[in-house]
A and B are shown apart, each in its own frame.
Chain A
Amino acid sequence: MKYFNLFSNILITKGARRILISDLQRNLSDLYTLELYDIIEELKNDSIEDILKNYDTESQQIIHEYIDLLLEKEYGFITNGDWDRNFPALSYEFQEVSEITNIFIEIDHISVLDKITASIDNLGVKHLVIYASKELSMNDYQDIDKKFKDSVLEGIEIYAPFHQAVDQSFFQILNETTSRIYSFIFYNCKEIPFKTKEIFGFSINFSHENIKISACGKVDLKYFNTNLSKILEAVKHNSCLHKKIGIDINGNIKNCPLMPESSGNIYQSTLEEALEIPGFKKYWNLTKDHIEVCKDCEFRYICTDCRAYTELTHTNNGLDTSKPLKCGYNPYTEKWEKWSKNPLKQKAIENYNLPELIKS
């Protein structure tokens, strides 16, 4: 008798109408039918021969094809006599040493970063995302990098308005004189200044839009990704808010700079103190499995949640458990739509007073 063994690093996420199979080793996710889900479940409980007995010839052929597919994709292997019970399940504990993994801060002057350098080292922060509301000169970028020159930070991403000094030599110099900045994003850029084949130690993006920090929270295919670390975090914790600190333009320390509740201010207290305030971490363990609509969505573990902008339809124990506002996917129809045009979201949109939507 033959038995099918699913590899422990294959994750199957069941959505309302289809399933997502994520290969946590090869960092790939693919969509399949609910039918395959049922077959995989049967294969967990019976031998292949016993399963085939229950189906007619035509269906048996389909099952063979599905098993072929599973083997071809290397989602599992076949043993004789019994399943191989020496393959334990993968532990889904998210083992992250850093107390805080990332900080998202909105600034209008770079000196404010001095307030958080010590905390960054204490908390083991790995990434810093800066949203600058004013233009940053070359010196500003270099100074930012310098502030963290011996720190534990592994990378800095900076959003800033585009200006005329931003050209090829601007980046050539920054490439030589900075070491932690891995991403430059310029908004309000009327015309992309240059195209280059030169390889820098960072990525550069230009956007025509005048992106405000409130533009955050988008749910889109381009932001979906599959890797073990991301998925482990998403399965047991909130995929955006877990181990994150946000600091708004006024220095208020929050879980996310776009959420209303604040736990102190960097001009009066430290990030460590803010973390101790009850309620700071209240969203950290709210997973997609407890969020409306998302809990039936096959993408829920490869997506990144947003609690700052939601449809404001459901709460549970004081937590907002509504679907993210800026998600246009409907798992019940498998269709993507433009979220901003959705009549059912208009009330919530008005509530947030989002400037980017005023023109439409």
Chain B
Amino acid sequence: MKHLFKEEKKLPLTFKYIEHFRTKTNNKTNNAKGSYVPCKRYHTDYLLRENPTKPLTRLL
């Protein structure tokens, strides 16, 4: 509700329909390891580490 925000001046009606959610915990510290690695060829420090979409080997 608009009155929850202690504002003197008027807010648009959109604030009545706002949805709150708890701030996500910092994702970067959740994983023991980041999901990005540096890559020179692609000029980025943020190459996404994606797992293979199929089993590359089937030894087990």
Are any A and B Cβ atoms less than 8 Å apart in their complex?
Answer: yes
A354 CB to nearest B CB, Å: 12
Q: A155-B49, A175-B32, A218-B60 are in contact. Are A150 and B40 (CB under 8 A)?
A: yes
Task: Return the chain A residue nearest B38 by Cβ.
Answer: A150
Q: Which of A152, A155, A175, A211 contacts B51 (CB 8 A)?
A: A155
The digit string for A92-132, where 1 denotes a CB below 8 A from any CB of B, is 00000000001010000000000000000100001101010
Q: CB-CB < 8 A to B39: which residues of A?
A: 150-152
Q: CB-CB < 8 A to A230: which residues of B?
A: 53-54
The answer for the CA separation of A205 and B60 in the assembled complex, in Å, is 10
Q: CB-CB < 8 A to A207: which residues of B?
A: 60
Q: Is the CB of A304 within 8 A of B34?
A: no
Q: Is the CB of B59 within 8 A of A218?
A: yes
Q: Is the CB of A201 within 8 A of B47?
A: no
The answer for the CA separation of A205 and B49 in the assembled complex, in Å, is 20
Task: Return the chain B residue nearest A175 by Cβ.
Answer: B32
Q: A36 interface residue, CB < 8 Å from B?
A: no
Stretch of A177-185, A268-276, A285-293 that contacts chain B: A177-185
A137-186: which residues lie under 8 A (CB-CB) from chain B? 149-152, 154-155, 157, 159, 175, 179-180, 182, 185
Q: Is the CB of B59 within 8 A of A215?
A: yes
Q: CB-CB < 8 A to A227: which residues of B?
A: 53
Q: Which of A154, A215, A225, A306 contacts B49 (CB 8 A)?
A: A154
Q: CB-CB < 8 A to B53: which residues of A?
A: 225, 227, 229-230
Q: CB-CB < 8 A to A198: which residues of B?
A: 32
SS class, residues of chain B in contact with chain A? loop
The answer for the CA separation of A213 and B47 in the assembled complex, in Å, is 30
Q: B37 interface residue, CB < 8 Å from A?
A: yes
Q: Which of B38, B47, B55 contacts A223 (CB 8 A)?
A: B55
Q: A216-B59, A218-B59 are in contact. Are A239 and B54 (CB under 8 A)?
A: yes
Q: CB-CB < 8 A to B55: which residues of A?
A: 223, 225, 304
Q: A149-B38, A155-B49, A211-B59 are in contact. Are A304 and B32 (CB under 8 A)?
A: no
Q: A23 interface residue, CB < 8 Å from B?
A: no
Q: Is the CB of A216 within 8 A of B58?
A: yes
Q: A219 interface residue, CB < 8 Å from B?
A: yes
Interface size on B, residues (CB 8 A): 24
Q: A332 interface residue, CB < 8 Å from B?
A: no
Q: Is the CB of A182 within 8 A of B32?
A: no
B27-60: which residues lie under 8 A (CB-CB) from chain A? 31-34, 37-42, 47-60
B7-34: which residues lie under 8 A (CB-CB) from chain A? 31-34
Q: CB-CB < 8 A to B60: which residues of A?
A: 185, 205, 207, 211, 215, 218
Q: A248 interface residue, CB < 8 Å from B?
A: no
Q: CB-CB < 8 A to B38: which residues of A?
A: 149-150
Q: A200 interface residue, CB < 8 Å from B?
A: yes
Task: Return the chain A residue nearest B30 by Cβ.
Answer: A199
Q: CB-CB < 8 A to B56: which residues of A?
A: 102, 104, 127, 129, 157, 244
Q: Is the CB of A159 within 8 A of B59?
A: yes
Q: Which of B40, B49, B57 contacts A104 (CB 8 A)?
A: B57
| Chain A residues close to B by CB (< 8 Å) | 102, 104, 121, 126-127, 129, 131, 149-152, 154-155, 157, 159, 175, 179-180, 182, 185, 198-202, 205, 207, 211, 213, 215-220, 223, 225, 227, 229-230, 233, 239, 244, 304, 306
What 5 new A-B contacts, CB under 8 Å, besides A127-B56, A205-B60? A155-B50, A179-B49, A185-B59, A185-B60, A230-B54
16 residue pairs from A and B, CB less than 8 Å apart: A131-B57, A131-B59, A154-B49, A155-B52, A157-B56, A180-B37, A182-B49, A185-B59, A185-B60, A200-B33, A227-B53, A229-B53, A229-B54, A230-B54, A304-B54, A306-B58
A-B pairs with the 8 shortest C-beta distances? A201-B33, A150-B40, A229-B53, A230-B54, A218-B58, A215-B59, A223-B55, A230-B53
